[in-house]
């Protein structure tokens, strides 16, 4: 008994796009009470399907052919007014970015009650009462207060709960969730996934869950569809697809996922590449004439060492201070107190001028491949500016740049191109080459693979592993993703609210976590159980 | 797509460019076309337009050729518009760049200063400045520059702030480059597009300001300008409408042309802002 | 509480700004060529000895510069704006007498331009790319390029001289003996052309801003959420898009206040509207610097007050301001 049945659906992109169809000849069904995961990397067309079902396709994008049977009607063909009647009532949708998906100027309660209003249900006071019930049902704290709050007063997870409350208002038969947990921290993600599973249980609604993350699939899916370039390449039950993938693409995607198989630490030399001692950094906000000053302890007395040739993973959720720590080590942030010893030099104590001369000792690979290269400079400039500033002759610097581009697998001739000619993964390679060009004693990789699709992520991680062997690199690898950390690192340090709560060899931290927070973090990793099963 | 071909897709902008080029040519050729200059009395006063050979736009209250005045007026408008905009950029760009790049108390002081100038009604300030410095081409240009730089400073500050936050600027710091090098080579080149767009609109505003000052009698007494022509004809509007009509049309056309060019540049230089419906 | 704090903060800032303008005025007088006392009295030679002696006393020109500054600023802060020798009256009295006319004119022009600008901007954005949009945008561009004073002259020419529909001169019919309601109607008739021509340029500004802002907000995620709820397009436009789109327009309206007051000088000149702008124009010809600077100061004060009001309005619309952690 299927709620939704899609047959031969194709969605045409406007002329001039990189391919004619966003989605091509797709057919699938979703049964009542079932969770179907639509999986794919960016550009696979997975979100377009959802938009088409909701009648929310961007301008210029049209349904070229096919039907979507829902409640006895082809909802791709019904007039806009009927489609509007379906939206929010029988089909509801939640989105990826909870921070921007709510109207900043309306109270949460008003925004939920609006769903009833749109479909002319209940009196205004009943609407308010029901909004309160919904807020309670999705587990938001202090419901009475929440419905009067504005979105900016809620955290990301709370906003996503509010979005879910809104989507549940009229008990839809189908809920479309478009990457609803991608923007959230891992512990919050776990809570939201659990909420969706609970609601499915209680309400018996069908869920179409769009995601790029096989961990989430393992956690939540009944059935799975894998999409690539707009076509379905694999389908089946969750167990079938995860444990016995047929298509090469699915296999590669699954292989690319760090499985939670914990590698044994490599023995490292004892001489430290980096020693951080009692580092502190506090940020003050507000403090205007009429506002109280607040302080956030971003780094709260942290000490750690990285041995020569070691990769230390620094993990934590957003706001844990892990990025601030990374930026303090390279002195993009000046710490309030403490020492940062790199090869005997205290980076924290250097004056502006001495610092400039010592900069080359620590280099950084950044998160955003689109913002980390100057769009107006050729790659050659990016790779030679630094070495030349520290006194390397121009010819030597240029020769080295070509050599490094070869090393990171882009070819020496690529130095003459501009950043926009490269893909995201390639840009990350350039970023790595730029860091290596300075012959640093330590590299900080700040979420260096987080913005990449999973298959690209795997390639960049492979490259880092190779380089590490080749150059005996010491790396501080900052990430929010425990699975990625496990793949590359020798030791793991866990941060929470500015404090270092646990540090130890990967196997110890993963298999026998001591701190309560580390345990919570590990438990929240989606697909954790499935990863272990594959061991 | 090249910059020009993107600009050329906006037909109104191309039309604006053509009008502007014509105005520039006329301004350059003025002494050739009217060697006697704009002040010479050529006929009896108050001749209506289209009536007399050689005087297509008629004569003014003192028997001067309206057409000649119009053509010489183009020189003043363009010159004041251009020079005052360059001066305003010379004040606003460095101030905004330093404020946005260094932040903290430098930013605080620079922005309080800018805000102060923005609070002062700018046309009133321009009047006061010209009146006190004695009306002349120089004082008019300086006054317009002084009242026009605050928006430049704010724009540049915002752009520099946003570029400075990008990771390639962090990378440049880590490369050991000096602040000056980072600001001038890494940051500022990435803020030129909006500055160019703003500058083209500022020339238009400066022309309006200059004509308004001249209208009030605060123009350089030795130089014929469109605003002066209208101001001098204000009291005879009932009997000689053409004296204020044609210079006004000239102003509207020139300013409109510059605004259209500004919009075209905006579309051509910031293509991501105009693309719609992407998701 | 938050709003009370805001007002207090803004008043403090306003006082500082006013103080700075007083200082600026002082240096402007000293920057003018010639003896400051002679400058203030009008052109040297035109003023008699007694006047100049009075002014010297007022400024204490024999005193060090900082004492002069202290006295001058002190005078201004106690609302002593000096004496107009040309008009034979204290500058403050001259201004206060003319201020109501300017307030009526600028406030009317402001509301007309804001309401019409927003309405047209919304209309254009709702039909983006269609004929209505092109028509509205094109007209706005034209107004945007038209000098205020020229629009005023042309309006006089057409509606007053040619058609005879509306008076093109003055604040009310002189010697009509109207009282009460009739007088109000008479003033209103006189007000129409000045207010409309002063408002045209600003209407174009607000229209362009509203249109751009509406289109930008329409692309945001929460609008998609609203559509996913099944709300009707008209509700989405009003409740979700417009409210958010108005925020930058309010900011702009505050910034434009200064221009509006400045523009009034031109409009009042053309229409012989007896406000402070006209007073400034008359003083220009008479080189009555004391009065010019006085009008300048008062118009700056008007802008400051206007900015405070905009700030409060902004806070009422946007819950995020002043509460962010």
pLDDT in tens, A326-367: 999 999 999 999 999 998 889 888 888 889 888 999 999 998
The residue written with tokens 């500082």 in the block is C16
Return the residue matching tokens 């409009």.
C267
Q: What are B's interface residues with C at a Cβ cutoff of 8 A?
A: 116, 118-129, 131-134, 204, 208, 211-212, 215-218, 227, 230, 234, 237-238, 241, 244-245, 248, 251-253, 255-256, 259-260, 276-277
Global pTM reads 0.86
pLDDT at site B278: 30
Q: What is the model's pLDDT at position B233?
A: 86
Better pLDDT: B65 or A289:
B65
Residue A30 confidence class, pLDDT cut points 50, 70, 90 = very high
| pLDDT (0 to 100) of residue B270 | 72
Is B167 in contact with A375 (Cβ distance < 8 A)? no
Determine contact, residues A49/A9, Cβ cutoff 8 Å: yes
* Confidence category of residue A288, pLDDT binned at 50, 70, 90: low
Check residue C41 and give its pLDDT: 65
Torsional class of B277: left (φ above 0), alpha (ψ -120 to 50), beta (otherwise):
left
Q: Identify the pLDDT of residue A253.
A: 82
**Residues on chain A touching C231 (C-beta within 8 angstroms):** 84, 88, 114, 117-118
User: Which chain B residues are within 8 Å of C280, Cβ to Cβ?
Assistant: 124, 127
Which chains reach chain A with 3 or more Cβ–Cβ distances below 8 angstroms? B, C
Looking at CA atoms only, how far is residue A445 from chain B in angstroms? Answer: 12
Same domain, C152 and C295: yes
Measured between CA atoms, how close is B171 to chain A, in angstroms?
A: 7
Contact C307 B119 (CB under 8 A): yes
Find chain A residues with C-beta within 8 A of C232's C-beta.
84, 118
pLDDT at C44: 43
> Is residue C87 a part of any domain in this protein?
no
Tens digit of each residue's pLDDT (9 = 90 or more) over A131-188: 999 998 888 888 999 999 999 888 888 999 999 999 988 889 999 999 998 888 888 8
Task: Please count the residue pairs, one from chain A and one from chain C, whose beta carbons lie less than 8 angstroms apart.
Answer: 88
In chain A, what percentage of residues exceed pLDDT 90? 44
**Of the partner residues B166, B176, B190, the one whose CB lies closest to the CB of residue A357:** B176
List the 305-324 stretch of C: residues with Cβ below 8 A of A: 317-320, 322-324
- Between chains, do C229 and A115 touch, taking CB under 8 Å as contact? yes
B277/A375 Cβ within 8 A: no
The pLDDT confidence band at residue C322, using thresholds 50, 70 and 90, is: low
- Architecture per CATH, B3-27+68-271: Orthogonal Bundle (1.10)
Pair (C312, C264) in one structural domain: yes
Residue C130, chain A, CB below 8 Å: the answer is: no
Domain boundaries, chain A: 1-78+174-182+191-255, 91-169, 309-337+351-533
**Structural domain total, chain C:** 2
pLDDT of A431 > 80? The answer is: yes
Strand partners of residue A206:
A174
pLDDT in tens, C27-79: 887 777 766 676 666 554 455 677 777 777 766 666 777 887 888 888 887 87
The CATH code of the domain that includes C188 is 1.10.3720.10
C9 → closest Cβ in A104, A289, A294: A289
At residue A306, the pLDDT reads 92
Contact C147, B251 (CB under 8 A): yes
Are C210 and C106 in the same domain? yes
pLDDT in tens, C175-193: 777 778 888 888 888 898 9
Residue B277 in this model has a pLDDT that exceeds 60:
no
Residue in B with minimal Cα distance to A17: B278
Residue-wise pLDDT tens digits, C220-264: 999 999 999 999 999 999 999 999 999 999 988 888 887 888 889
Percent of chain A predicted with pLDDT > 70: 94
Which residues on chain C are in Cβ contact (under 8 Å) with B153?
Answer: none
- pLDDT recorded at residue B141: 95
Instruction: Output the average pLDDT for chain B.
Output: 88
* Mean pLDDT, residues C96-117: 93
- Domain A309-337+351-533, architecture per CATH: 3-Layer(aba) Sandwich (3.40)
d(CA C129, nearest CA chain A) in Å? 13
Tell the residue number behind the tokens 């609407």, with chain if given: A127
Say whether residue A178 is in contact with chain C using an 8 A CB cutoff.
no
The span from the CA of A37 to the CA of A380, in Å, is: 43
- Give me the pLDDT at residue A302, please: 93
- Residue identified by tokens 């309660």 is A109
Question: Pick from C21, C46, C78: which residue ends a domain?
Answer: C78
Question: Are C232 and A285 inside 8 Å of each other by CB?
Answer: no
Average pLDDT of the segment spanning A54-76: 88
The verdict on residue C264 lying in a domain is: yes
Question: Which of residues C15, C44, C78 is at a domain's end?
Answer: C78
Name which of C219, C266, C289 is nearest B132 (Cβ-Cβ): C289
Under a CB-based contact definition with an 8 Å cutoff, are residues A56 and C228 in contact? Answer: yes
The pLDDT of residue A177 is 93
Q: Is the pLDDT of residue C209 over 70?
A: yes
CB contact under 8 A, A382 and B171: yes
Measured CA distances, C237 to A121, A199, A500, C245, C246 (Å) = 21, 32, 49, 10, 12
Instruction: Count Cα atoms within 13 angstroms, Cβ side, for C106.
Output: 26
Within 8 A of A105 by CB-CB distance, chain C residues are 243-244, 317-319
pLDDT band at B91 (very low <50, low <70, confident <90, very high): very high
Q: Are residues C63 and C196 in the same domain?
A: no
What is residue A268's predicted lDDT score, i.e. its pLDDT? 58
- Residue B134 is predicted with a pLDDT of 85
Give the count of beta carbons closer than 10 Å to the beta carbon of residue C70: 14
pLDDT category at B23 given cuts 50, 70, 90 is very high
Per-residue pLDDT, averaged over C11-26, amounts to 86
Task: Examine the pLDDT at B275 and tell me if it is beyond 60.
Answer: no
Q: Are residues C104 and C67 in the same domain?
A: no
Confidence of residue B195 (pLDDT cuts 50, 70, 90): very high
Chain A residue nearest residue B191, CA to CA:
A376
* Chain A residues inside the 8 Å CB shell of B186: 374, 377
Report pLDDT digits (tens) over C260-286.
888 899 999 999 899 999 999 888 887
Judged by CB atoms closer than 8 Å, whether chains meet at A84 and C244 is answered as no
C86 domain residue, yes or no? no
Q: Residue C266 in contact with residue C105, Cβ under 8 Å?
A: no
Chain C positions in Cβ-Cβ contact with residue B213 (cut-off 8 Å): none
> For residue B274, what pLDDT is reported?
44
Q: Are residues C193 and C47 in the same domain?
A: no
Does A56 contact C at CB distance below 8 Å? yes
Neighbours of A267 (CB within 10 A): 10
Q: What is the pLDDT of residue B279?
A: 27
Does the pLDDT value for residue C305 go beyond 90? no
pLDDT at position A384: 94
Asked if the Cβ–Cβ distance from A366 to B175 is below 8 Å, we say no
pLDDT at C58: 66
Question: Which pLDDT score, from 0 to 100, does residue A291 have?
Answer: 55
Read off the pLDDT of residues A192-251 as tens digits, 9 standing for 90 and up: 999 999 889 888 899 999 998 888 998 899 999 999 888 999 999 988 888 888 888 888
Tell whether the model's pLDDT for residue A529 goes beyond 50: yes
> Which C residues, 268 through 287, put their C-beta within 8 Å of a C-beta on chain B?
269-270, 280-281, 284-285, 287
Q: Which carries the bigger pLDDT value, residue B100 or residue B133?
A: B100
Is the pLDDT higher at A405 or at C55? A405
Is A318's pLDDT higher than 50? yes
What's the full length of chain A, in residues? 535
Residue C83 lies in a domain: no
- Give yes or no: residues C8 and C155 share one domain: no
User: For residue C105, how many C-alpha atoms fall within 13 Å in the half-sphere facing its CB?
Assistant: 32
pLDDT of residue C3: 64
Beta strands A35-39 and A62-70 are unpaired
Q: Of residues B273 and A430, which shows the higher confidence score? A: A430
CB-nearest to B248 from C147, C219, C300 is C147
pLDDT at A102: 93
Determine the structural domain holding residue C15 and report its residue range: 1-78
The CATH-assigned architecture of domain A1-78+174-182+191-255 is 3-Layer(aba) Sandwich (3.40)
Task: With a cut of 50, say whether residue A533 has pLDDT above it.
Answer: no
Q: Assign C118 a pLDDT band (cuts: 50, 70, 90).
A: very high
Give C87→chain B minimum CA distance, Å: 18
Show the 3-state SS of chain C. Answer: CHHHHHHHHHHHHHHHHHHHHHHHHHHHHHHCCCCHHHHHHCCCCCCCHHHHHHHHHHHCCCCCHHHHHHHHHHHHHCCCCCEECCCCEEHHHHHHHHHHHHHHHHHHHHHHHHHHHHHHHHHHHHCCCCHHHHHHHHHHHHHHHCCHHHHHHHHHHHHHHHCCCCCCCCCCCCCCCCCHHHHHHHHHHHHHHHHHHHHHHHHHHHHHHHHHHHHHHHCCHHHHHHHHCCCCHHHHHHHHHHHHHHHHHHHHHHHHHHHHHHHHHHHHHHHCCCCHHHHHHHHHHHCCHHHHHHHHHHHHHHHHHHHHHHHHHHHHHCCCCCCCC
In the listed set C53, C78, C103, which residue is the last one of a domain according to the structure? C78
- Residue C45 domain-assigned? yes
Nearest to B167 among A368, A375, A386 (CB): A368
Q: Are residues C73 and C99 in the same domain?
A: no
B130 to chain C: which residues are within 8 Å by CB? none
Mean pLDDT (whole number) for B243-248: 90
Q: What is the DSSP string of A288-335?
A: -SSS-EEEEEEEEEEEEEEETT-EEEEE--TTSSHHHHHHHHTTSS--
Option in A373, A382, A386 nearest B176 (CB): A386
Model confidence at A284, in pLDDT bands (50, 70, 90)? Answer: confident
């Amino acid at each position: 008994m299927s709620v939704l049945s899609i047959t031969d659906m194709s969605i045409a992109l406007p002329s001039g796009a990189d391919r004619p169809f966003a989605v091509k000849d797709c057919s699938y069904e979703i049964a009542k009470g079932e969770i179907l995961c639509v999986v794919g990397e960016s550009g696979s067309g997975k979100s377009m399907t959802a938009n088409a079902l909701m009648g929310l396709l961007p301008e210029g994008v049209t349904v070229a052919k096919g039907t979507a049977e829902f409640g006895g009607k082809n909802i791709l063909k019904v007039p806009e007014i009927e489609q509007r009647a379906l939206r929010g009532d029988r089909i509801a949708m939640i989105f990826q970015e909870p921070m921007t998906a709510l109207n900043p100027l309306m109270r949460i309660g008003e925004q939920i009650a609006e769903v009833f209003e749109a479909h002319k249900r209940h009196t205004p006071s009943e609407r308010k009462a029901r909004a309160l019930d919904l807020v309670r049902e999705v587990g938001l704290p202090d419901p009475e207060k929440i419905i009067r709050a504005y979105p900016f007063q809620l955290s990301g997870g709370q906003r996503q709960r509010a979005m879910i409350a809104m989507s549940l208002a009229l008990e839809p038969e189908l809920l479309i969730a478009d990457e609803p947990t991608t923007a959230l921290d891992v512990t919050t993600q776990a809570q939201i996934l659990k909420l969706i599973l609970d609601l499915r249980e209680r309400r018996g609604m069908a869920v179409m869950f769009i995601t790029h993350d096989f961990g989430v699939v393992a956690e939540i899916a009944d059935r799975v569809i894998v999409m690539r370039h707009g076509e379905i390449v694999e389908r089946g039950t969750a167990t079938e697809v995860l444990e016995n993938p047929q298509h090469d693409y699915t296999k590669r995607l699954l292989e690319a996922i760090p499985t939670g198989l914990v590698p044994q630490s490599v023995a490292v030399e004892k001489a430290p590449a980096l020693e951080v001692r009692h580092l502190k950094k506090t940020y003050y906000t507000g403090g205007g004439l009429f506002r109280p000053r607040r302080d956030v302890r971003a780094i709260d007395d942290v000490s750690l060492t990285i041995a020569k040739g070691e990769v230390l993973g620094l993990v934590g959720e957003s706001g844990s201070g892990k990025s601030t720590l990374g930026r303090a080590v390279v002195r993009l942030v000046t710490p309030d107190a403490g020492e940062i010893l790199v090869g005997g030099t205290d980076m924290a104590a250097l004056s502006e001028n001495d610092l400039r001369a010592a900069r080359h000792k620590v280099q950084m690979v950044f998160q955003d491949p689109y913002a980390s290269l100057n769009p107006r400079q050729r790659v050659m400039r990016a790779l030679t500016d630094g070495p030349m500033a520290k006194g390397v002759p121009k010819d030597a610097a240029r020769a080295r740049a070509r050599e490094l581009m070869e090393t990171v697998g882009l070819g020496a001739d690529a130095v003459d191109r501009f950043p926009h000619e490269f893909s995201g993964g390639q840009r990350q390679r350039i970023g790595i080459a730029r860091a290596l060009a300075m012959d640093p004693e330590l590299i900080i990789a700040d979420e260096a693979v987080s913005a990449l699709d999973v298959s690209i992520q795997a390639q960049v991680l492979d490259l880092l592993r190779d380089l590490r062997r080749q150059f005996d690199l010491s790396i501080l690898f900052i990430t929010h993703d425990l699975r990625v950390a496990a793949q590359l690192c020798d030791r793991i340090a866990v941060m929470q609210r500015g404090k270092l709560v646990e540090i130890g060899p990967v196997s110890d931290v993963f298999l026998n976590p001591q701190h309560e927070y580390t345990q919570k973090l590990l438990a929240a990793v989606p697909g954790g159980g499935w990863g272990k099963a594959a061991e | 797509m090249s910059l020009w071909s993107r600009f050329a897709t906006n037909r109104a902008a191309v039309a604006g460019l053509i009008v502007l080029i014509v105005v520039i040519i006329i301004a350059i050729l003025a002494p050739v076309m009217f060697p006697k200059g704009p002040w010479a009395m050529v006929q009896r006063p108050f001749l209506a337009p289209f009536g007399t050979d050689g005087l297509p736009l008629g004569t003014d209250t003192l028997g001067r050729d309206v057409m000649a005045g119009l053509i010489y007026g183009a020189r003043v408008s363009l010159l004041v518009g251009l020079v005052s905009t360059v001066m305003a950029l010379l004040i606003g760009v460095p101030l905004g760049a330093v404020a946005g790049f260094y932040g903290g108390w430098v930013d605080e002081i620079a922005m309080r200063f800018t805000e102060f100038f923005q609070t002062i009604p700018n046309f009133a300030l321009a009047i006061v400045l010209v009146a006190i410095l004695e009306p002349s081409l120089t004082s008019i240009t300086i006054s317009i520059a002084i009242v026009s730089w605050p928006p430049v400073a704010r724009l540049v500050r915002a752009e520099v702030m946003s570029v400075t936050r990008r990771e390639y600027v962090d990378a440049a710091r880590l490369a050991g480059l000096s602040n000056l090098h980072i600001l001038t080579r890494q940051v500022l080149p990435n803020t030129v597009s909006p500055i160019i767009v703003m500058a083209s609109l500022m020339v238009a505003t400066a022309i309006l300001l200059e004509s308004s000052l001249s209208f009030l009698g605060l123009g350089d007494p030795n130089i014929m300008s469109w605003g002066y022509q209208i101001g001098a004809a204000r009291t005879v509007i009932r009997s000689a409408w053409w004296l204020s009509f044609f210079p006004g049309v000239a102003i509207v056309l020139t300013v409109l042309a510059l605004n259209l060019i500004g919009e075209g540049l905006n579309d051509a230089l910031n293509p991501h802002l105009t693309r719609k419906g992407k998701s | 509480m938050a709003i009370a704090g805001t007002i207090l903060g803004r008043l403090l800032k306003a006082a500082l700004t006013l103080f700075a303008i007083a200082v600026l005025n002082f240096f402007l007088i000293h920057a003018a060529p010639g003896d400051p006392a002679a400058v203030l009295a009008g052109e040297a030679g035109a003023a008699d000895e007694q006047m100049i002696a009075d002014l010297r006393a007022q400024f204490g020109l024999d005193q060090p510069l900082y004492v002069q500054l202290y006295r001058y600023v002190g005078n201004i802060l106690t609302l002593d704006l000096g004496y107009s020798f040309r008009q034979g009256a204290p500058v403050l009295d001259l201004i206060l007498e003319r201020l109501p006319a300017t307030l009526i004119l600028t406030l009317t022009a402001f509301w007309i331009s804001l309401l019409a600008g927003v309405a047209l901007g919304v209309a254009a954005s709702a039909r983006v790319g269609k004929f209505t949009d092109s028509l509205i945008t094109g007209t706005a561009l034209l107004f945007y390029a038209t000098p205020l004073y020229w629009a005023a002259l042309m309006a006089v020419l057409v509606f007053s001289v040619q058609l005879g529909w509306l008076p093109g001169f003055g604040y009310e019919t002189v010697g009509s003996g109207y009282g009460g309601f009739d007088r109000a109607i008479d003033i209103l008739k006189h007000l129409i052309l000045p207010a409309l021509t002063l408002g045209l340029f600003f209407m174009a500004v607000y229209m362009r801003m509203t249109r751009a802002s509406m289109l930008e907000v329409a692309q945001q995620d929460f609008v998609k959420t609203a559509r996913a709820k099944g709300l009707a397009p008209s509700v989405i436009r009003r409740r979700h898009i417009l409210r958010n789109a108005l925020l930058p327009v309010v900011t702009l309206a505050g910034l434009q206040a200064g221009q509006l007051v400045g523009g009034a000088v031109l409009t009042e000149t053309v229409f012989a509207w007896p406000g402070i702008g006209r007073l400034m124009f008359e003083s220009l010809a008479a080189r009555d610097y004391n009065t010019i600077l006085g009008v300048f100061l008062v118009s700056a004060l008007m802008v400051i007050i206007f900015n405070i009001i905009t700030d409060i309005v902004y806070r009422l619309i946007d819950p995020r301001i002043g509460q962010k952690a």
